[in-house]
A and B are shown apart, each in its own frame.
Chain A
């Protein structure tokens, strides 16, 4: 089945640090990748949709200068949390989608981000 690899799985860093999270589709070409944020015991909140070669589309309330998304190839998208602060601590999950309609998204294992 389709595999999506997300790295790192866990990050602890000081306030003010920028953190980059990678999302790779290992065995298929992902025309679209999604970035979600999840708080404890809550559902997934879509942050942005990323299409290869074009600018990401951010959901309302998500700061694009805070959460930089780059989708440089059909197998890699990155999310950079710039100048992270404790309120940015969360579980970030990516997913990838191929080009066919009515197909499920394939999710990475998530990144636990803790800002001290």
Chain B
């Protein structure tokens, strides 16, 4: 079963705006990862944040992690039409095999040109 919950389920914005997606989880984690999936394709890894980290940046992406609230957010700044995709958070739990990931339900982002 999927332990992660993401909100919103769908987000539609204009090009140039920022997009924020949130993820909550239930167990203690080793790390939390964000992936992007274009329609009909595999997943592309975006950022991995470890349980002892609070914030991480990569280009236009910013990820935060609050282990006390068991939540994470992904911020995409200055969005582009090419950012249109589904975004998933995934957690590597301390309670199961460290490499096994549990995925959230995903956020469908549409960036309108």
Contact = CB atoms under 8 A, between A and B. Distances in A.
Task: Please classify how large the interface on chain B is, using the bins under 10, 10 to 19, 20 to 34, 35 or more.
Answer: 20 to 34
A88 interface: no
A42 B45 CA distance: 18
A46 B101 contact: yes
A25 B41 CA distance: 17
Contact of B42 (A43, A93, A101, A102): A93
Interface string A94-108: 010100011111111
A6 B105 contact: no
A96 to B, nearest CB: 11
Interface string A1-41: 00010100000000000000000000000001010000001
B43 A95 contact: yes
Interface in A64-96: 91, 93, 95
A43 B103 contact: yes
Contacts of B73: none
Contact of B50 (A93, A102, A110): A102
A11 to B, nearest CB: 14
Given A93-B43, A104-B33, A107-B43, A43 B105 contact: yes
B78 interface: no
A49 B35 CA distance: 19
A93 B40 CA distance: 10
Nearest to A98: B99
Contacts of B48: 102-104
Contacts of A6: 42
Interface of B: 2, 30-31, 33, 35, 40-45, 48, 50, 88, 92, 97-106, 108
12 contacts: A34-B101, A43-B2, A43-B103, A44-B88, A44-B103, A46-B100, A49-B97, A49-B100, A101-B98, A104-B33, A105-B101, A108-B42
